[in-house]
Amino acid sequence: MYRKEIKVLDCTVRDGGLQNKWQFSDKFVKAVYNACVEAGVDYMEIGYKSSESAYSKTENGPWKFCEEKDLRRIVGDNKTNLKLAAMADIGRIAFEDIPKKSDSLLDMIRVACYDYQVDKGIALAEHCMDKGYEVSLNLMAVSAISEMALDQALSDIAKSKIPIVYLVDSFGSMYSEQIHFLMTKYKKALPGKTIGFHGHNNMQLAFSNTIETIIEGANMLDGTFLGLGRGAGNCGTEQLLTFLKNPKYRVKPVFNAIQHEIIPLQKTLSWGYHIPYLITGYLNLHPSSAMKWMDSAERDDFMTFFENTIDSRKELE
Amino acid sequence: MYRKEIKVLDCTVRDGGLQNKWQFSDKFVKAVYNACVEAGVDYMEIGYKSSESAYSKTENGPWKFCEEKDLRRIVGDNKTNLKLAAMADIGRIAFEDIPKKSDSLLDMIRVACYDYQVDKGIALAEHCMDKGYEVSLNLMAVSAISEMALDQALSDIAKSKIPIVYLVDSFGSMYSEQIHFLMTKYKKALPGKTIGFHGHNNMQLAFSNTIETIIEGANMLDGTFLGLGRGAGNCGTEQLLTFLKNPKYRVKPVFNAIQHEIIPLQKTLSWGYHIPYLITGYLNLHPSSAMKWMDSAERDDFMTFFENTIDSRKELE
């Protein structure tokens, strides 16, 4: 029933940190780490790898940088089956700020880029491979670019050494028909490479879209505990583990961490499905306007948000 | 792009009333009605048609009974394009308690039954047809019966006059593969009949499953405002309208009613996705235990709920 090639990557701390600038307590990060280990999750993305020149270290917590001393404080020598990953954004990290794999607790670097940065993304990913890391390339915001631009980017990636390429639904705007269309395209354009999926829950479709990519052969699947993540959040790691018929995964440790660490966060952090996210999702817009609205005093006046958003679209036409 | 045969049925008051015994204010019911009219929704299911001998009229609000005087107070003569529906449960309504269509503001009766009640369901539905109503048969809890029992029920329904048959995901336990399997089965077993879908959001799949039934040809689609409904709730009518590329629908009036009538209800009523519902959903169990848990003081201790639920399953084995 299950596919042994499937790997689950939990990015609770990395994607969730977008909501609080990675100001998590060590207790929280350790609880997520321990739950991932006990649950049999394959990879934990613990944050971003960024240069200190790109971001303030007072404004941003340690998981924006993933320094070795911070990693070691949480995971010790990480003598577990859980691999550690960090995301790297193009333009926010210099090659020389990435240590050799032999000097790092990180196992994988996931390079995130837009289509117009794909050459830089490939160069950074191949640089990380040369330093000894596993890598993936996560091509963002593909719902908002032309098919020609997407085909060109995929063609460039196909020629690279990068073994894992992510379909990313950055705006949470994809329906199952687009998932099947894009998965077919990615598989055809990227023979021999593993396809991953990272969804967002703007229209409450992050979990179902993940399932559709599994049906289409995606073997790297992202989730976060209770969907904690940017704006409307992500596919729940707990949802994914209940779906996968794989004896190596155990959902109970994730439920436990959700109860004791994630639910309490809801008092101070806001994420998850809400009407403004549905609006940007179905209009295929970046959720930044909805996130700003949800942080404002007017958050529940989504009629005004709807009208502003529709008006701003009309101005474009 | 759109399919003109598709009809949307909003059952906010009927399914939502399961959370408060239909104790809605007239202002609330009028707001939902007006929003449905303005949104171009095809049917509004305003409650249950029940006999007074079956339920207490002090404990249950008027929408458990849908008396003509109550309907008229909300909709007047209903000189609109919105059709009104009520649900009838087997054993809770006597034939003689259903007025002739010419004496009623109701346009449609939806008969809900389990597979072992299907003969009674067909008899009641055909009785309502004889009295002049549109009818549907909503076969509940099919995820928990044998395929032989389901095939037998569908075979019986196929021989009836009933024109509309619903695939119902009562436990919110279906994934897209089951939706496609069951839609294929229903279409084959029920030639010439319209297939509808009513989902529940226990695993956050109510909207996506509705989309999959559309792909498979379902033409009667249920939703509720902000998913208001039993336990984890339903597909959001607003989600459905943003998905359907049909100029006859307008989502704005639904957003407006959600902002002004549904969001305020969240202060006193609890519904929507929560971990206990995911647990009963993926275990294919009736959500009643999760609903009871969510009404208790222990609602956030879902580790105990998880362990109790797993233990109760083991006892069955």
Q: What pLDDT score was predicted for residue A311?
A: 82
- The DSSP secondary structure of B19-72, one letter per residue, reads GTTT---HHHHHHHHHHHHHHT-SEEEEEE---TTTS-TTTS-GGGT--HHHHH
A116's tokens: 């117009």
Question: CA B163 to CA A275: how far, in whole Å?
Answer: 35
**Sequence-distant (≥ 6) Cβ neighbours of residue A27 within 8 angstroms:** A261
CB A211 within 8 Å of CB B176: yes
CB B207 within 8 Å of CB B191: no
Whether residues B302 and A255 touch (CB distance < 8 A) is answered with yes
3-state secondary structure of B183: helix
Whether residues A176 and B176 touch (CB distance < 8 A) is answered with yes
Closest residue of A to B234, CA-based?
A: A204
Give the closest-approach CA distance of A72 to chain B in angstroms.
Answer: 30
Q: What pLDDT score was predicted for residue A315?
A: 61
- Region of A192 (left: φ > 0; alpha: ψ -120 to 50; beta: rest) is left
pLDDT tens-digit map of A255-293: 999 999 999 999 999 999 999 999 999 999 999 999 999
Closest residue of B to A307, CA-based?
A: B252
| Chain B residue numbers touching A212 (CB-CB < 8 A) | 176
| Chain B residue numbers touching A294 (CB-CB < 8 A) | none
Residue B298: how many other CB atoms lie within 10 Å: 11
| Chain A residue numbers touching B239 (CB-CB < 8 A) | 203-204, 278
Query: What average pLDDT does the segment B153-173 reach?
Result: 98
pLDDT tens-digit map of A24-40: 999 999 999 999 999 99
| Chain A residue numbers touching B205 (CB-CB < 8 A) | 207-208
Residues of chain B in Cβ contact (below 8 Å) with chain A = 175-177, 201, 203-209, 211-212, 215, 226, 236, 238-239, 242-243, 252, 255-256, 258-259, 263, 275, 278, 282, 300-303, 306
Within B82-205, residue ranges assigned H as helices are 118-130, 147-158, 176-189
Question: CA B233 to CA B247: how far, in whole Å?
Answer: 27
Whether residues A255 and B205 touch (CB distance < 8 A) is answered with no
Give the closest-approach CA distance of B46 to chain A in angstroms.
Answer: 24
Query: What average pLDDT does the segment A133-140 reach?
Result: 98
A12's tokens: 């609770």
Whether residues B238 and A205 touch (CB distance < 8 A) is answered with no
Closest residue of A to B302, CA-based?
A: A259
Whether residues B211 and A239 touch (CB distance < 8 A) is answered with no
Residues in a beta bridge with B224 = B236
pLDDT tens-digit map of A103-131: 999 999 999 999 999 999 999 999 999 99
Is 60 exceeded by the pLDDT of residue B133? yes
Q: Please report, as a single letter, which amino acid is at residue B107.
A: D
Closest residue of B to A256, CA-based?
A: B303
Q: What pLDDT score was predicted for residue B315?
A: 62
Closest residue of A to B278, CA-based?
A: A239
Q: How sure is the predictor about A312, in pLDDT bands with cuts at 50, 70 and 90? A: confident
Question: CA A87 to CA B25: how far, in whole Å?
Answer: 51
Residue B220 backbone phi and psi in degrees, to 5 = -125, 115
* Cα dihedral B178, B181, B186, B188 in deg (nearest 10): 180
B40's tokens: 């171009």
Closest by Cα among A89, A84, A161 to A126: A161
Whether residues B209 and A208 touch (CB distance < 8 A) is answered with yes
Whether residues B263 and A301 touch (CB distance < 8 A) is answered with no
Q: What is the ipTM of this complex?
A: 0.95
3-state secondary structure of B257: helix
Whether residues B306 and A255 touch (CB distance < 8 A) is answered with yes
Question: CA A207 to CA A243: how far, in whole Å?
Answer: 10
Question: CA B22 to CA B29: how far, in whole Å?
Answer: 10
pLDDT tens-digit map of B60-117: 999 999 999 999 999 999 999 999 999 999 999 999 999 999 999 999 999 999 999 9
Q: How sure is the predictor about B245, in pLDDT bands with cuts at 50, 70 and 90? A: confident
Interface with A, mutate which of B203, B215, B304 (most A CBs under 10 A): B203
In this complex, the residue of A211, A255, A258 whose CB is nearest that of residue B176 is A211
Average pLDDT over all residues of chain A: 96
Residues in a beta bridge with A45 = A85
B123's tokens: 């008899």
CB B224 within 8 Å of CB B261: no
pLDDT tens-digit map of B123-132: 999 999 999 9
Average pLDDT over all residues of chain B: 96
Whether residues B212 and A176 touch (CB distance < 8 A) is answered with yes
Pairing between strand B43-48 and B83-89? parallel
The dihedral of CA A15, A16, A22, A27: what is its sign?
A: negative
Question: CA A261 to CA A267: how far, in whole Å?
Answer: 11
3-state secondary structure of B89: strand
Instruction: Give chain B's count of helices (H) and strands (E).
Output: 13, 8
Counting Cα atoms < 13 Å in the Cβ hemisphere of B237 gives 36
Residue A101: how many other CB atoms lie within 10 Å: 18
Class (C level, CATH) for A7-265: alpha beta
Residue B4 backbone phi and psi in degrees, to 5 = -65, -20
Q: What is the 3-state secondary structure (H, E, C) of chain A?
A: CCCCCCEEEECHHHHHHHHCCCCCCHHHHHHHHHHHHHHCCCEEEEEECCCCCCCCCCCCCHHHCCCHHHHHHHHCCCCCCCEEEEEEECCCCCHHHCCCHHHCCCCEEEEEECHHHHHHHHHHHHHHHHCCCEEEEEECCHHHCCHHHHHHHHHHHHCCCCCEEEEECCCCCCCHHHHHHHHHHHHHHCCCCEEEEECCCCCCCHHHHHHHHHHCCCCEEEEEHHHCCCCCCCCEHHHHHHHCCCCCCCCHHHHHHHHHHHHHHCCCCCCCCCHHHHHHHHCCCCCHHHHHHHCCCCCCCHHHHHHHHHHHHHHHC
Closest residue of A to B274, CA-based?
A: A226
CA angle A7, A12, A14 (to 5 degrees): 100
Domain ranges of chain A: 7-265, 275-316
Question: CA B125 to CA A83: how far, in whole Å?
Answer: 58
Interface with A, mutate which of B239, B240, B241, B304 (most A CBs under 10 A): B239
pLDDT tens-digit map of A75-107: 999 999 999 999 999 999 999 999 999 999 999
Angle formed by the axes of helices B176-189 and A206-215, to 10°?
80
b/e per residue B215-229 (b: at least 16 CB within 10 A): ebebbbbbbbbbbbb
Q: What pLDDT score was predicted for residue A220?
A: 98
The helix (H) or strand (E) run that includes residue B240 is helix B237-243
Query: What average pLDDT does the segment A138-164 reach?
Result: 98
CB A287 within 8 Å of CB A277: yes
Q: How sure is the predictor about B1, in pLDDT bands with cuts at 50, 70 and 90? A: low
Give the closest-approach CA distance of A33 to chain B in angstroms.
Answer: 19
Whether residues B211 and A255 touch (CB distance < 8 A) is answered with no
Whether residues B204 and A207 touch (CB distance < 8 A) is answered with yes
3-state secondary structure of B108: strand
Query: Is A247 or A128 the better-scoring residue by pLDDT?
Result: A128
In this complex, the residue of B177, B212, B275 whose CB is nearest that of residue A258 is B275
Question: CA A66 to CA A24: how far, in whole Å?
Answer: 13
